[in-house]
Structure 1
């Protein structure tokens, strides 16, 4: 019986798209995206911002970490269509023009990378982590949650635990972040 309802079925392979305006590294990009498209794929494949890496594609390694409104997100798990009103910062946007971000300088000075694959995600995560600590957000190892956390090695390791380094440069990564931490 046909009651007048639309019974047209959409083929699952037919994309549903949305026109949005992305703000990435202080630049506006009008773009049409598939509603299933991840931010990582948009950044790498459509905007040619290849700093964020596709490591595990499951949000477990942190190589794809970027900042959205200053907060850390795994771009492989974030749908681009949800970010039309947000400010996205990738590793390419951490520097101030030709002046590297202090974390970038500290990573170089402390030899905090080996192959470099995880480094963009490590840098974005560290920048977000420093902002979280500056705002007074405790971690699971913060001893006194009534004061701003002291960013010692234990605190830094806990806060960076979502970012893996296959080369094992953790000691130098922690040292680099500690150098920049207040």
Structure 2
């Protein structure tokens, strides 16, 4: 079986790095962010979450020579035809800014009754830069868009991603609860089911 002593996480997003570190902690996997290897962000030229995740994973694997994990994730709002989608992090333009993205989203939803939304996460694991069969897993997290911000935790759209069953926003959840319920947590659970035989 293949052994991996180190895996590079293909993201420069500090919020994602912290969330992944928490998620991987229980698996005892030595995962390092690409910033530890001075890997520049790959241009996200894909038209889907899957394409962008593969682009980012391959970029990290090429530069570091290590196996890599990349995610591409975002928010899809029903009333906006699935927007902001793959453009979630830069919805309000570059440079990306969470507060501006939320402001734009709330303005776009003013007066709309349908506020259903879902977070989506695609995770890709590549054993090496030429891996012909990368592992691809997807997770979803369903909720609604609140009319105003709630909570100071999390990142991205978490303060306005409302969870009716908990009567809380994603930004108000404790870390363990969020990891168990989130799109990223669900995708990672699927990914680990595929990876664990290779890590044994």
Greater CA radius of gyration, 1 or 2?
Answer: 1
Same fold (TM over 0.5): no
TM-score (norm 1): 0.24
Higher strand share: 2
Larger helix share, 1 or 2:
2
